[in-house]
Structure 1
Amino acid sequence: MSTPFLEHVNVTVRDPEAMAKRLEDWFGWKVRWKGAALNGGTTYHIGNETSYIAAYSPSHNTTPVNGTSYSHHGGLNHIAVVVDDLDATEERIKAGGYKTHNHQDYEPGRRFYFDDDDGIEFEIVSYAD
């Protein structure tokens, strides 16, 4: 039996193309797929060979369904991304105008957080020595 793993996280954002660009800049990820989605919306899948973030935006002509995660931006706690070089990644994020916070050294690694344009909190963590 294979070990279960997280394939993707799906988030509702204002501009999936802009989110794809930020994720490419920050982490070197690529757009794996983009196209039509639920309720006439658009989705971009941005990641690597094994996992991705699905950035979804509903059609501007669609009335949001209240009470669903597809009707409001940033309906989750945070997205954690593991990187080899925490300091270099933080510099790229800061260069984009984002403020980082909650820096912590903990066993077994180091981490910090920041909020993107849609209010989604990212945790960036490194387990490298």
Structure 2
Amino acid sequence: MPRGHLEHINITVSDIERSAALLEQLCGWRIRWRGPSMLGGETIHVGDETDYIAVYTKGAALPGRHAKGLPLNHVGLVVDDLDAAEAVVKAAGLEPFNHADYEPGRRFYFFDWDGIEFEMVSYA
């Protein structure tokens, strides 16, 4: 049976610089690649050696926030220091919500500027 792992997630955002900077600060990631998209616009790959999030923009204004679940429910990211991650989210002017502590870890959620929901979780 084949085995796999998640290599990347590609999300459309209104400001790739802002979104890439948030991901770098939240997870200690770096910009792996940046360039034009095959569909037009620009993409930045933010991650580590094994996986990343591709933040993409068409270069034109987006119509606004999507409803939850359209286009996705949330992106889950594991961090080693949940309190530090929450401080980054707050410093970016975003609002953490739905804090929970249950097996297998502590977590909170937040929406970014484009209405994409992130779940931050720590198993430490």
Q: What residue in structure 2 maps to residue 16 of structure 1?
A: 16
1:111 paired residue among 81, 85, 107: 107
Alpha-carbon distance in structure 1 between the residues aligned to 2:58 and 2:107:
32
Contact kept? 1:11, 1:73, Cα under 8 Å: no
Moved over 3 A (4+): 71-74
Alpha-carbon distance in structure 2 between the residues aligned to 1:35 and 1:78:
25
Kindly indicate whether residue 112 of structure 2 is the aligned counterpart of residue 124 of structure 1: no
Alpha-carbon distance in structure 1 between the residues aligned to 2:59 and 2:95:
30
Aligned residues, how many? 120
Q: What residue in structure 1 maps to residue 94 of structure 2?
A: 98
Contact kept? 2:12, 2:55, Cα under 8 Å: yes
Which is further off, 34-43 or 1-10? 1-10
- TM-score of the pair, normalised by structure 2: 0.86
Give the SS at the match of 2:39.
Answer: helix
Corresponding letter in the other structure for 2:72 = L
Aligned-pair Cα RMSD in Å: 2.2
**Structure 2: runs of 5 or more not aligned:** none
Kindly indicate whether residue 31 of structure 2 is the aligned counterpart of residue 31 of structure 1: yes
**Structure 1: runs of 5 or more not aligned:** 65-70
Kindly indicate whether residue 89 of structure 2 is the aligned counterpart of residue 78 of structure 1: no
Q: What residue in structure 1 maps to residue 49 of structure 2?
A: 49
User: Cα offset for 1:60?
Assistant: 2.7
Alpha-carbon distance in structure 2 between the residues aligned to 1:82 and 1:36:
29
Contact kept? 1:105, 1:111, Cα under 8 Å: yes
Contact kept? 1:12, 1:73, Cα under 8 Å: no
Give percent identity, aligned residues only.
54
Contact kept? 1:13, 1:73, Cα under 8 Å: no
